[in-house]
Amino acid sequence: MGDCIFCKIVDKEIPSNVVYEDDRILCFHDLEPKAPVHVLIIPKKHIASMDDVAEEDQDLLGYLMTKVKDIAAQLGLENGYRLVNNCGEDGVQTVQHLHFHLLGKRKLTWPPG
Ligand code: AMP
Ligand code: ZN
């Protein structure tokens, strides 16, 4: 998608610190980590947000969810972690390409701000 920063990361037009990659998903370190481990897991397909998920994305997103535990294990998050999606204005979504934050290696507070 033309101006999407995460599509550019998928296409390697913008560098990223890749943690995991296959034909459908990409995981890379967040530029401004909010925890000792903070990575983003994204579908390579451009989907703007959770609000834009379509019926046809079921397999892709189901697949992504099955990979979370493997990525968490790869990053040493055996003590637990948090998976977060920010959607829309109230969710304070800043990048309009669906992504899940995977945070860990510290005791996270609840509720989020
Ligand atoms: P959100 O507020 O949920 O849309 O989160 C977007 C996240 O993308 C933020 O945590 C940013 O730090 C992160 N981010 C923005 N640009 C980049 C980039 N080029 N590489 C890695 N992470 C980025
Ligand atoms: Zn995109």
Task: Please name which ligand lies nearest the alpha carbon of 99.
Answer: 1
Task: List ligand 1's pocket residues with C-beta within 6 A.
Answer: 5, 14, 16, 30-32, 40, 86, 92-95
Does residue 112 lie within any of the structural domains? no
Q: How many domains does the chain have?
A: 1
Does residue 55 lie within any of the structural domains? yes
| Termini Cα distance of the chain | 31
Does residue 56 lie within any of the structural domains? yes
97 is annotated as an active-site residue: no
* Residue 22 φ/ψ region, left for φ over 0, alpha for ψ in the -120 to 50 degree band, beta for the rest: beta
CATH number for position 76: 3.30.428.10
Does residue 109 lie within any of the structural domains? no
Query: What is the mean predicted confidence (pLDDT) over 77-93?
Result: 98
CA of 58 from ligand 1 middle (Å) equals: 24
Query: Which of the pair, 82 or 1, is modelled with greater confidence?
Result: 82
Does residue 110 lie within any of the structural domains? no
Q: How far apart are CA 57 and CA 24, in angstroms?
A: 11
Does residue 39 lie within any of the structural domains? yes
Does residue 22 lie within any of the structural domains? yes
User: Parallel, antiparallel, or unpaired for β 81-84 and 37-43?
Assistant: unpaired
CB of 26 within 8 A of CB of 5? no
CA of 3 from ligand 2 middle (Å) equals: 8
- What is the residue range of 28's domain? 5-104
Does residue 113 lie within any of the structural domains? no
Residues 6+ apart with CB under 8 A from 96: 4, 48, 49
Q: How far apart are CA 31 and CA 43, in angstroms?
A: 18
**In the predicted model, what is the mean pLDDT of the chain?**
97
Mutate to test the pocket of ligand 1, among 6, 38, 40 (most ligand atoms within 8 A of CB): 40
> Is the pLDDT confidence value at 20 over 90?
yes
**For residue range 52-83, what is the model confidence (pLDDT) as tens digits?**
999 999 999 999 999 999 999 999 999 999 99
